[in-house]
């Protein structure tokens, strides 16, 4: 019976090409728009290389305030604040402080002027993020403590500087200082914004970052990232941080540091939170949910009108089948099976369109331009499964309701195609 319904559905698509194209296109475009929104959220929130543990990560980025009797400073923290407030935490699995600078790189005998993103960080950085080393290894705690000028470079930087990834032991010049390349990592997408960089070096090697501080050595250039042992530890980590902040503030004469709503989670960031302002989930759902609801209603209303028109044309057919013993349930199931084919085709087309739209629209949908997208960012089976289930739900709403109403009509009304007898 199912095979018969499938054949009949395909035949209907051929006979009613205009109606079929309208139904499939409307469903495809609406689902594509919904999927793009979902995929953008997924890129901001889901775990992928090298941020493979985003569900356990917490952040303090541009969410530091230092107050004194003469004024205040909002921005980032000093290396001392990183050490006293964050390195001293016991609950996180790993903690990392980092600062970002855009600087040119050169190699011996060749001056270059292109700017690269330099990430000044610490050994904890390599514990939090799962970098894939193509050659060499990261700098160690001993290298960091001794301020040894070592550098980890990305695959593309290695090729641009030396034409190969076999560059371990070679020299790169940064701020007129010679750094020895100790490792080469697989390219990182800008979507992995915390881990992203072109070059990673120990921040203890940079005099400016270590000494350009203010407000009793509390304000500076650094952000922090924490990796919890379990996401259930988030609240406990925040409470431990408050105690460390209180202890640190007690060491100062006048200045006091605080971190607003920090540390925030990756989910908080995905719904629009920043360190100084946390977005409530209900507010995000009201804003984004309204848009999604609108996009959901468009194909539903489209299919409702088109399907009802198509079912109306089959009233006589349904009347004849009822006269020969077909029940209302059989007639409704037939309509649902037939329209499921159209809906599924539209749903699959929408999924394909979303994968085409996302690369085209990524520069204004994502925060960072020139963001490279990989399969593990956008291919999440659960998302595609939910989209297909949504397609089937649309079928139930748009085809089932009018089919049930017509199937329950009297046989004589269906055979007359809804026309009343002339008196």
Q: What's the gap between Cα 277 and its chain centre?
A: 20
Neighbours of 177 (CB within 10 A): 12
Q: How far is CA 329 from CA 9, 391, 410, in A?
A: 18, 21, 15
Kindly report the pTM of this predicted structure.
Answer: 0.78
Choose the weakest-confidence range: 16-25, 151-160, 244-253: 16-25
Choose the weakest-confidence range: 54-68, 111-125, 285-299: 285-299
> What per-residue confidence (pLDDT) applies to 421?
39
End-to-end CA distance of the chain: 42
> What per-residue confidence (pLDDT) applies to 407?
66
pLDDT in tens, 192-240: 999 999 999 999 999 999 999 999 999 999 999 999 999 999 999 999 9
pLDDT in tens, 94-125: 999 999 999 999 999 888 888 999 999 999 99
* Residue, of 421 and 204, whose pLDDT is higher: 204
Name the packing angle between helices 17-45 and 2-15 (round to 10°): 110
Phi/psi zone of residue 199: left (φ > 0), alpha (ψ -120 to 50 degrees), beta?
A: beta
Please state, in angstroms and rounded to a whole number, the distance separating the CA atoms of residues 396 and 337: 10
- The contacts of residue 342 (CB under 8 Å, 6+ apart) are 9, 13, 20, 23, 24, 27, 395
Name the packing angle between helices 328-365 and 315-323 (round to 10°): 150
**Which of 263, 266, 260 is closest to 91 using CA atoms?**
263
Residue ranges per domain, the chain?
2-48+281-415, 64-259
Choose the weakest-confidence range: 37-46, 125-134, 315-324, 352-361: 315-324
Mean pLDDT of the chain: 83
Q: How many CA within 13 A on the CB side of residue 26?
A: 23
> What per-residue confidence (pLDDT) applies to 422?
42
């Amino acid at each position: 019976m199912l095979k018969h319904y499938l054949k009949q559905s395909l035949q209907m698509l051929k006979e009613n090409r205009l109606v079929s194209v309208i139904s499939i296109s409307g469903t495809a475009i609406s689902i594509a728009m919904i999927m793009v929104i979902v995929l953008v959220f997924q890129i901001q929130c889901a775990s992928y290389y090298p941020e493979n543990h985003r569900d356990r990560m917490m952040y303090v980025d541009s969410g530091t305030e230092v107050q004194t009797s003469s004024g205040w400073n909002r921005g980032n923290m000093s290396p001392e604040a990183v050490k006293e407030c964050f390195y001293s935490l016991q609950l996180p699995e790993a903690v990392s402080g980092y600062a970002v600078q855009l600087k040119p790189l050169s190699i011996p005998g060749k001056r270059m002027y292109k700017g690269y993103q330099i990430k000044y960080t610490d050994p904890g950085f390599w514990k939090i993020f799962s970098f894939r080393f193509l050659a060499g290894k990261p700098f160690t705690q001993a290298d960091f403590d001794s301020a040894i000028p070592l550098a980890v470079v990305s695959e593309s930087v290695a090729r641009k500087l030396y034409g190969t990834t076999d560059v371990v032991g070679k020299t790169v010049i940064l701020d007129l200082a010679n750094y020895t390349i100790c490792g080469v990592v697989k390219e990182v997408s800008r979507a992995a914004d915390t881990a992203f960089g072109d070059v990673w070096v120990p921040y203890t090697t940079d005099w400016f970052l270590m000494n350009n501080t203010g407000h009793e050595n509390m304000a500076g250039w650094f952000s922090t990232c924490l990796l919890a042992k379990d996401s259930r530890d988030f609240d406990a980590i925040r409470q431990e941080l408050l105690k460390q902040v209180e202890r640190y503030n007690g060491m100062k004469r006048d200045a006091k540091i605080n971190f607003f709503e920090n540390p925030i989670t990756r989910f908080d960031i995905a719904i629009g939170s920043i360190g100084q302002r946390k977005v409530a989930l209900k507010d995000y759902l009201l804003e984004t949910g309204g848009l999604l609801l609108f996009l959901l209603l468009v194909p539903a209303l489209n299919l409702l009108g088109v399907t009802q028109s198509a079912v109306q044309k089959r009233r006589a057919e349904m009347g004849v089948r009822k006269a020969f013993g077909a029940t209302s349930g059989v007639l409704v199931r037939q309509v649902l099976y037939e329209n499921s084919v159209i809906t599924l085709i539209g749903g699959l087309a929408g999924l394909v369109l979303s994968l085409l739209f996302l690369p085209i629209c990524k520069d204004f949908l994502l925060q960072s331009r020139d963001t490279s997208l990989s399969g593990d960012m956008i291919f999440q089976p659960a998302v595609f499964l939910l989209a297909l289930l949504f397609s089937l739900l649309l079928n139930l709403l748009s085809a089932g309701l009018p089919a049930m109403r017509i199937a329950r009509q009297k046989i004589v009304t269906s055979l007359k195609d809804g026309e009343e007898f002339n008196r």
